[in-house]
Chains A and B, each alone.
Chain A
């Protein structure tokens, strides 16, 4: 008999509705699972069980009053860069040690309104910069499938917690693949909604034209249910879109008959591990066997995506992170004058990857370089968008690998930042264009590490990628596989 923490969101909804368990039971089970396995995984930076139990009782009381809802009484793990009022929010940085959130992020407020319980701060690369959680100031999050390997990143804690059943669902954020890639590495579902779909208010900004709050879950249906709660326009985020929120759960009922799946060979090019490519191609063939129609498409500018991103994201980051100056938040190194104080504070309390990106971003925005780098990258970004526009004239969704490789060994990528950046090639384009993307488990390497299928769609076409992901998932059993030591 499996424990409550091992159930998925939909299963728990049914148990709660039938009265077979309470929200308190679920929170207790998740807390016990954290106690049992998180010492090895280190997905959690902190988790206040007592506070969560108080909220669980409140959710149970709401249910007793007749209230229903997909997330009512469900604990949700929160990436350490989303503000939850009264909880710490350190963005896995030493610089924000001691920071206590004065308000709820809108996505968190929406969770609370729906009766969900924000439970636990999960680990990430510092300020979401990195793809392995090795850049957390509080230690690496290990992959539940193999503790010697990374969990991916930057939302590595969010993904590892779901995979190790220390979370039912979690929120993450995706600026260049930070939800989809760790989901792929840890064998869970990762949904990056379209830019503007979920409010960024209270999401600590990394690159404001690319950041989006995302969902990590055990099944596609769970991701759809969670998105339906957190999505929607927010007057506090002027970039959140006024477009209405559709019924994502309803989209899941449809099969794949007649859906046109685009396949661009560029996504299977140099650097993509043959095992990964084979798994993803097999997954696409499977979708075709379910009635989808394959369409060969071109994505001629894919090879420029990493260059564009590593100009624009650091540029935006260098501006956004200028607020961490030792004056208003967190840690400070005292000095005799304000400039020395800022310089010493930022040197002492920011990690190498964050410094690297601030320096790069400051450089490309500085006088004499702005046109040569920043404006050039903005123009090239338009070419990526054009590639997508042409692709979606010919097909409904685009399928590809999420990442060129499976989860690598801890420490293996640390010495070469550029090599790490190249690992983002398949996920970056949809951040640049503002479209949506989904990672769904589609196989394992010989070494037993998970492989993810990426399903991309145009902006505000989440229903399409969820429908495709759900149909694929429900006719395969990849999502049912459990990491050995944690099932």
Chain B
């Protein structure tokens, strides 16, 4: 799906739902359209702010390069992890075919 021309007042719900990997029904798309446009209309209030020269704050207490010693630590049990997959085949997780046959 091609990227739509930026429109700051309306969410292109169909385009965004595809990016988010959610298959919406027509009714859902219409409902979310109205609700999300309402939220956008509200958050446009941020345009009132003069944000020139302000550093974006992505984290409450910024920290860099948190490292640990390169030593093995206990990891969750593999069996327990695999058992949570919806479709397990031996030690693999089954998914629909991804590539055409060669």
Nearest CB of chain A from residue B61's CB, rounded to whole Å: 6
Whether A246 is near chain B, meaning CB under 8 Å from some CB there, is no
Q: How far is the CA of A336 from the CA of B28 in the complex (A)?
A: 23
Partner of A209, one of B39, B45, B59, B85: B59
| B43 and A307 contact, CB distance less than 8 A | yes
| A355 and B22 contact, CB distance less than 8 A | yes
Whether B26 is near chain A, meaning CB under 8 Å from some CB there, is no
Q: Using CB atoms, name the residue of chain A closest to B44.
A: A307
| B8 and A100 contact, CB distance less than 8 A | no
Q: Which residues of B contact A344 (CB under 8 A)?
A: 23
Q: Which residues of A contact B8 (CB under 8 A)?
A: 369, 372
| B95 and A359 contact, CB distance less than 8 A | no
* Chain A CB within 10 A, most for which of B24, B60, B63: B60
Q: How far is the CA of A206 from the CA of B49 in the complex (A)?
A: 27
* Chain A CB within 10 A, most for which of B13, B42, B98: B42
The number of chain B residues with a CB under 8 A from chain A is 54
Q: How far is the CA of A381 from the CA of B77 in the complex (A)?
A: 40
| B60 and A434 contact, CB distance less than 8 A | yes
Whether A69 is near chain B, meaning CB under 8 Å from some CB there, is no
Partner of A360, one of B36, B61, B93: B36
| B16 and A308 contact, CB distance less than 8 A | no
Q: Using CB atoms, name the residue of chain B closest to A312.
A: B58
Q: Using CB atoms, name the residue of chain B closest to A306.
A: B42
Given contacts A328-B85, A331-B86, contact A382 B57 (CB under 8 A): yes
Stretch at the interface among A235-243, A254-262, A440-448: A235-243
Partner of B84, one of A311, A318, A328, A432: A328
Whether B90 is near chain A, meaning CB under 8 Å from some CB there, is no
Whether A418 is near chain B, meaning CB under 8 Å from some CB there, is yes
Whether B72 is near chain A, meaning CB under 8 Å from some CB there, is no
Nearest CB of chain B from residue A313's CB, rounded to whole Å: 12
| A359 and B20 contact, CB distance less than 8 A | yes
Question: Interface digits, A379-399 against B, CB 8 Å rule (1 contact, 0 not)?
Answer: 111110100000000000000
Whether A423 is near chain B, meaning CB under 8 Å from some CB there, is no
| A379 and B55 contact, CB distance less than 8 A | yes
Q: How far is the CA of A209 from the CA of B60 in the complex (A)?
A: 7
| A241 and B22 contact, CB distance less than 8 A | no
Q: Which residues of B contact A381 (CB under 8 A)?
A: 56-57
Q: How far is the CA of A385 from the CA of B39 in the complex (A)?
A: 23
| A327 and B43 contact, CB distance less than 8 A | no
| B22 and A358 contact, CB distance less than 8 A | yes
Whether B89 is near chain A, meaning CB under 8 Å from some CB there, is no
| A356 and B43 contact, CB distance less than 8 A | no
Given contacts A368-B6, A372-B8, contact A338 B96 (CB under 8 A): yes
Whether A102 is near chain B, meaning CB under 8 Å from some CB there, is yes
| B84 and A378 contact, CB distance less than 8 A | no
| A330 and B84 contact, CB distance less than 8 A | yes
Chain A, range 293-309, C-beta contacts under 8 Å to B: 301, 303-304, 306-308
| B46 and A307 contact, CB distance less than 8 A | yes
Q: Which residues of B contact A343 (CB under 8 A)?
A: 18, 21-23
Nearest CB of chain B from residue A150's CB, rounded to whole Å: 20
| A102 and B16 contact, CB distance less than 8 A | no
Q: Using CB atoms, name the residue of chain A closest to B22.
A: A346
Q: How far is the CA of A487 from the CA of B77 in the complex (A)?
A: 44
Question: Interface digits, A403-435 against B, CB 8 Å rule (1 contact, 0 not)?
Answer: 000000000000001100100000000001110
Q: Which residues of B contact A383 (CB under 8 A)?
A: 49, 51, 54
| B39 and A328 contact, CB distance less than 8 A | no
Q: How far is the CA of A75 from the CA of B12 in the complex (A)?
A: 48
Q: How far is the CA of A366 from the CA of B11 in the complex (A)?
A: 11
| A304 and B22 contact, CB distance less than 8 A | no
Q: Using CB atoms, name the residue of chain B closest to A430.
A: B60
| B96 and A328 contact, CB distance less than 8 A | no
Given contacts A239-B63, A379-B55, contact A363 B84 (CB under 8 A): no
A positions within 8 Å CB-CB of B: 98-100, 102-103, 195-196, 209, 235, 238-239, 241, 301, 303-304, 306-308, 310-311, 318, 322, 325-332, 334-344, 346-347, 350, 355-356, 358-360, 362-363, 366-369, 372-373, 375-383, 385, 417-418, 421, 432-434, 459
5 closest residue pairs by CB, A with B: A434-B60, A378-B56, A102-B80, A368-B6, A343-B23
30 A-B contact pairs sorted by A residue (CB < 8 Å) = A98-B86, A102-B76, A102-B84, A195-B60, A304-B45, A308-B46, A325-B21, A328-B85, A331-B86, A336-B96, A341-B96, A343-B18, A347-B24, A355-B22, A358-B22, A359-B16, A360-B11, A360-B39, A363-B12, A366-B3, A375-B56, A379-B56, A381-B57, A382-B56, A383-B49, A417-B35, A418-B35, A433-B60, A434-B61, A459-B60
